[in-house]
Structure 1
Amino acid sequence: MTHQEIAAILLQAEITQKACDPIRSHLKELDLESAYKIQKINVDQKIAKGGIEIGKKIGLTSFKVQEQLGVDQPDFGVLLQHMQFQQGENLAFAELMQPKAEAEIAFILKEDLKGKNITIEDVILATDYITSAIEIVGSRIKDWNIKITDTIADNASSSHFILGTKKANVQEIDLENNKMQLFVNDQLVSEGDGTSCMGNPLNSVVWLANKMNDLGNPLKKGEIILSGALGPMVNLNPSDKVKASIEGLGNIDFLVD
């Protein structure tokens, strides 16, 4: 089966909101290159129809999850403008597929990140500010029955995201130890800190910056980078009230319609 044909299966699942079988059977187990090509086919198609790329998301930043999937690196997906919603807006459950929420830190860039061997210091200097974020991940694959090639091809299981309103200097926040709590209907359902994200969210952004340079598509000024979950993801249902609190970065809340 060609990359185009596999991409069409995933796109059809998204359009019809009928989840498909895993696509990994059509690829070698760790053929990440092909999976990213499939991802790009669908992203490019959406951009050709008016979609606007505004950033990237990093997934699989938990070392435990990497071990479960048999890989030694995270993955990434592309953020399009229609994926972002604002505080004060509700999120329509009808637009989602098997949604789960996770809280993380977003980096907004003020400079391009070009060149080889990008370091934490380079990321700090290129960051305009950081803020809290909730990412709503979703899967076009039935029952979240995914391996690494499934999620990469499915744009890293991306769906929607919301950013907080408090902007902070990246050097003024202890990114390794700042605490995160995620509540659904006023119940604490997930918690963690920066160590859950590759030891420090800066590490995940460094990985992405170097990965994108290797691919000839460096991170650019103005991009939003979702750096990865600070704790376990949780299922979302209609009428859920969701709130995240990240130390030093304030709160985010929204309602699932």
Structure 2
Amino acid sequence: MRTSEIREAAAALLDAHRSGTPIPPLSMTYPSATIADAYRIQQEQVRFWTEAGDRVRGHKIGLVSAVIQRQMGVHEPDYGHLTASMFHPEHRPIPAGAFLQPRIEPEIAFVLGAPLRGPGVTVDDAGRAVRYLLPALEIVDSRIRDWKITIVDTIADNASSGAAILGSTPIDPAEVDLPSVSCALLRNGTVIETGTGAAVLGTPFNALAWLANAIGALGVSLEPGQVVLSGSITRAIAIAPGDSIMAEFPGIGRVTAMLAEDDPS
């Protein structure tokens, strides 16, 4: 894609954020767009947000499930940026108007205590760099109409990022066998989905190593204090105003998010 088209596509997504009106798939508007083009569109939006005063606080990893990869016709995950404005406190209502087509996923969040600079980062390197982990919920959202997305669409749309909600009790990763960690996702008190950490590329540490190497190829590193959402343990579920969502991780803890009927202010 030409630079002018990259900026045009980023502007369309930014306008969807502002207006609350989804746009047609970029993969249809720009049929020759590649994955590399999609990351350029993503970066253009991140540049806009940071120049407006937001800051990058970490990253999210998507497309970690083998089932989803087959569905999307891809063979590796993708990533997006988490800015400070995307984080919401646990137990406080989140305005539904911030989202267009929200879904929610349970994840294990890593908070880094040491830098990770790829390429060449191993799973052991990734584990040593984690200061602590937290239970997390990610609200994923799409600025693409009806979630009619290809890999190009979701990457361009910042990996369909929406919001992150972190639990409050840090856990030493050495105390947890991440592949066997179980998770129950509850909506309004009813279990909707279950899964284990092995759904995330065998272990969430694999996802973290993949991310460090993927962004390392671009000259970017993961830094101490940054948060990484390692990918969904279950299928994403749709949520609506008034819903209360809880993710329970035995041995790690639980985290709750509430989607407000109206703006709590």
Distance 1:30 1:179, change over 3 A: farther
Among candidates 54, 59, 63, match of residue 60 of structure 1: 63
- Residue in 2 that maps onto 1:146: 149
Q: Deviations over 1:41-69 (max 9, x none)?
A: 01110100001110000000111101111
For 1:197 and 1:125, the matched residues in 2 are separated by 18
Matched, 1:126 2:129: yes
Q: Secondary structure at the match of 2:16?
A: helix
Among candidates 219, 222, 225, match of residue 225 of structure 2: 222
Where do 5+ consecutive residues of structure 2 fail to align? 261-265
For 1:207 and 1:225, the matched residues in 2 are separated by 12
Q: Deviations over 1:13-43 (max 9, x none)?
A: 1110000000012445671100000000011
Matched, 1:201 2:188: no
- Residue in 2 that maps onto 1:44: 47
Q: Deviations over 1:140-180 (max 9, x none)?
A: 00110001000000000001010011211112111001100
Q: Residue 30 of structure 1 contacts residue 148 of structure 1 at CA under 8 Å; is this kept in 2?
A: no
Q: Which amino acid aligns with 1:5?
A: E
- Residue in 2 that maps onto 1:24: 27
Among candidates 171, 186, 190, match of residue 187 of structure 1: 190
Q: 1:164-179 alignment to 2 at 5 Å?
A: 164-179=167-182
Where do 5+ consecutive residues of structure 1 fail to align? none
Q: Which amino acid aligns with 1:162?
A: I
Structure 1 outlier segments of 4+, above 2 Å: 25-30
Tell me the TM-score normalised to structure 2 length: 0.94
Q: Deviations over 1:74-130 (max 9, x none)?
A: 000000001001123111111111000000000000111124311111111111001
Distance 1:8 1:30, change over 3 A: closer
Q: Residue 29 of structure 1 contacts residue 149 of structure 1 at CA under 8 Å; is this kept in 2?
A: no
1:254 Cα deviation (Å)? 2.6
Q: Residue 35 of structure 2 contacts residue 155 of structure 2 at CA under 8 Å; is this kept in 1?
A: yes
Among candidates 6, 10, 13, match of residue 10 of structure 1: 13
Aligned-pair identity (%): 35
- State how many pairs are aligned: 257
Q: Secondary structure at the match of 1:229?
A: coil
Q: Residue 76 of structure 1 contacts residue 152 of structure 1 at CA under 8 Å; is this kept in 2?
A: yes
Matched, 1:76 2:82: no
Alpha carbon RMSD of aligned pairs, Å? Answer: 1.2
For 1:115 and 1:144, the matched residues in 2 are separated by 32
Q: Residue 118 of structure 2 contacts residue 215 of structure 2 at CA under 8 Å; is this kept in 1?
A: no
Tell me the TM-score normalised to structure 1 length: 0.97
